[in-house]
């Protein structure tokens, strides 16, 4: 090895190693920021670990489930993002943490036939950031895990969409078969050619995901009828929205909840509030008040909990598996390990309260962590995080949008209709700008506009 090669190798080893586990919105934004800030200038080695090869913004999964969004059009490839933004990507799921040696272990990766492609690996770090998000919390409700679908991942959302389309295709084929029978058979049959079938959908949880999914499904039903799948009419897609508390969107102010409730009722969504789900069976839900709701498709969208493996790392966690962190986002038992987003329990500044698990919080924390990790390397004191609530926006598909914006100058401003929809869409565009920059985001917006004029408005496969 030449002297120049030796010096380069030594400089590489000497670089601080920042390891980020979890490529969700927050983790990916952090890796991108640090790559541009530190990786590009060879001031640190940034590595992102995720169990998937691609990223899709989690607040869009209800649109994937309804078919309003083709996930392949909006997914981001981690390998390409790493190359463009001067960080490294490792495919794998974290299974073990050795704080003494400062290493994590990644699970082996196998192909479709079970053949091992990549063996177990160990990756070292100087600073570790855990941004593994959350999964849906079914509160150990009997039958929920066996009979409900969840919307934690792209694969789960796509599975719901396939099952929904299967029911439509089955009903359509049945109708076409009926129309091929002699007229006398049609007239004496239990259900005539013009008869329609029904699909019963139950969504457990009337938070943002449940509410938005209900509206998107009603929108999808109208589009499916327009594309000729008219055996099931929009009014025959029975959408039941179940909420244990007394109203929809219980975490948001009533001035947002009330107009949302009115819109859902106008669309024909059946609201069941004030009683939790007691049991889930293959074809129905039993509520605590004794009501039974028939449902062939059931989606659990209530509550969150962090991944269970976090409780096995030797770090402090709470009852929903979140890691306890200081306002600097350092974990309470190891200041070299940081956590943020849905997997972290961060004090909000109010006595006994914690930062809510919302996309805007993860974005704010990613911005702060990019500064703090840079300050650590430069030997400066860390900044503390304080949650800033900039408001909430709820999209009801093409029918409406409702929300409020909060700022230092404007206070709280209520928005409805097209203006609220415009602000809702801008949230995703801001996420894209953080990842791609302004010029590429503008090109993506142009591409989306062209795509809408040349492709079906609903994914039909």
Within-domain flag for 215? yes
Do residue 59 and residue 167 come from a single domain? Answer: no
Is-contact 41 61, C-beta < 8 A? no
Give percent of the chain above pLDDT 90.
64
pLDDT digits (tens, 9 = 90+) for 377-386: 999 999 999 9
CA dist 222 to 225, 232, 235, Å?
A: 5, 10, 9
**What mean pLDDT is predicted for residues 239-260?**
93
As a whole number, mean pLDDT of residues 18-29 equals 96
Please indicate, yes or no, whether residues 314 and 287 belong to a single structural domain of this protein: no
In a domain, 362, yes or no: yes
Q: Quick one: average pLDDT of 289-293?
A: 96
User: Is there a single domain that holds both residue 167 and residue 272?
Assistant: yes
Note whether 260 and 340 are same-domain residues: no
Residue 1 lies in a domain: no
Say yes or no to pLDDT of 4 above 60: no
Domain that holds residue 164: 144-175+193-302
> Does 318 lie in the same domain as 293?
no
Spatial contact of 321 and 311, defined as CB atoms under 8 Å apart: yes
Average pLDDT, rounded, for the chain: 88
Of 355, 378, 401, the domain-final residue: 378
Q: Over the stretch 431-459, which tens digit does the pLDDT of each residue have?
A: 888 888 888 888 888 887 777 666 676 77
- Range from 14-18, 45-49, 113-117, 286-290 carrying the lowest mean pLDDT: 113-117
Residues 111 and 54 both lie in one domain: yes
Amino acid 3: pLDDT = 46
Cα 233 to chain centroid, rounded? 29
Number of domains in the chain: 3
* pLDDT for the residue 11: 47
Q: 10 Å Cβ neighbour count for 272?
A: 19
Is the same domain home to 271 and 337? no
* Residue 287: inside a domain: yes
Q: What is the pLDDT of residues 110-156, one digit of tens each?
A: 888 888 988 999 999 999 999 999 999 999 999 999 999 999 999 99
Whether residue 139 lies inside any domain: the answer is no
Q: Structure tokens of 378?
A: 């430069």
Given 283, 302, 321, which residue is the final one in a domain? Answer: 302
What CATH number is associated with residue 115? 3.50.50.60
pLDDT at 181: 54
DSSP 82: H
Decide if pLDDT at 194 tops 50. Answer: no
Within a domain: residue 361? yes
- 211 in Cβ contact with 249 (< 8 Å): yes
352 and 420 part of one domain: no
What is the pLDDT, as a whole number, of residue 191? 44
Query: Do 107 and 75 lie in a common domain?
Result: yes
Residue 261 burial (CB count, 10 A): 20
Outline where 128-267 has alpha helix (H).
144-147, 154-179, 183-188, 208-226, 254-267
Residues 169 and 76 grouped into a single domain: no
* Contact in structure between 137 and 357 (CB atoms under 8 Å): no
295 with 238, same domain? yes
Whether residues 316 and 407 fall in one domain: no
Q: What is the mean pLDDT of residues 33-58?
A: 96
pLDDT at 231: 86
Surface-to-core class of residue 284, CB atoms within 10 Å of its CB (0-12 exposed, 13-18 middle, 19+ buried): middle
Residue 2 belongs to a domain:
no
Residue 13 pLDDT: 55
- pLDDT at residue 6, rounded to an integer: 43
DSSP string over 276-291: -EEEE-SSEEEETTS-
Distances (CA, A) of 174 to 157, 168, 182, 279, 376: 26, 10, 15, 32, 65
Provide the pLDDT confidence category of residue 187 given band limits of 50, 70 and 90.
very low
Is residue 10 scored above 50 in pLDDT? no
So what's the pLDDT on residue 178? 57
């Amino acid at each position: 090895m030449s002297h120049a090669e030796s010096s380069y190798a030594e400089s590489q080893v000497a670089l601080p190693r920042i390891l980020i586990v979890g490529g969700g919105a927050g983790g990916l934004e952090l890796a991108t920021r640090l790559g541009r800030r530190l990786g590009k200038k060879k001031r640190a080695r940034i590595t992102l670990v995720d169990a998937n090869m691609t990223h899709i913004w989690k607040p869009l999964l209800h649109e994937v489930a309804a078919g309003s969004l083709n996930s392949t059009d909006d997914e981001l490839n981690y390998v390409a993002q790493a190359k463009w933004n001067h960080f490294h990507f490792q495919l794998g799921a974290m299974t073990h943490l050795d704080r003494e040696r400062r290493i994590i272990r990644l699970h082996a990766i196998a192909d479709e036939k079970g053949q091992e492609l990549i063996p177990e690996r160990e990756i070292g770090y100087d600073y570790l950031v855990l941004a593994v998000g959350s999964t849906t919390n079914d509160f150990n409700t009997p039958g929920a895990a066996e009979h409900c679908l969840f919307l934690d991942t792209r694969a789960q959302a796509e599975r719901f969409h396939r099952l929904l389309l299967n029911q439509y295709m089955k009903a359509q084929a049945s109708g076409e078969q009926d129309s091929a029978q002699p007229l006398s058979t049609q007239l004496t049959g239990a259900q005539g050619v013009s008869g329609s079938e029904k699909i019963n959908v139950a969504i457990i949880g009337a938070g943002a995901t449940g509410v938005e999914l209900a509206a998107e499904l009603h929108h999808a039903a109208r589009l499916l009828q327009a594309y000729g799948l008219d055996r099931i009419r929009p009014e025959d897609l029975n959408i039941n929205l179940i909420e244990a508390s007394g109203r929809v969107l219980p975490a948001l102010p009533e001035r947002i909840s009330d107009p949302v409730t009115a819109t859902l009722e106008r669309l024909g969504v059946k609201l069941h509030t004030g009683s939790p789900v007691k049991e889930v069976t293959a074809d129905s839900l039993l509520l605590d008040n004794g009501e039974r709701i028939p449902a062939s498709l059931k989606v659990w969208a209530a509550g969150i909990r962090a991944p269970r493996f976090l409780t096995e790392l030797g770090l402090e966690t709470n009852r929903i598996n979140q890691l306890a962190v200081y306002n600097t986002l350092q974990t309470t038992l190891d200041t070299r390990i940081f956590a943020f987003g849905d997997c972290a329990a961060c004090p909000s500044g109010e006595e006994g309260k914690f930062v809510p698990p919302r996309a805007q919080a993860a974005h704010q924390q990613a911005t702060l962590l990019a500064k703090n990790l840079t300050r650590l390397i430069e030997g400066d004191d860390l900044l503390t995080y304080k949650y800033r609530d900039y408001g909430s926006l709820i999209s009801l598909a093409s029918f409406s949008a409702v929300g409020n914006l909060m700022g230092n100058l404007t206070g709280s401003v209520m928005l409805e209709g097209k203006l609220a929809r415009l602000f809702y869409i801008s949230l995703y565009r801001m996420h894209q700008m953080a990842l791609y920059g302004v010029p590429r985001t503008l090109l993506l917006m142009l591409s989306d506009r062209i795509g809408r004029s040349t492709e079906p408005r609903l994914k039909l496969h």
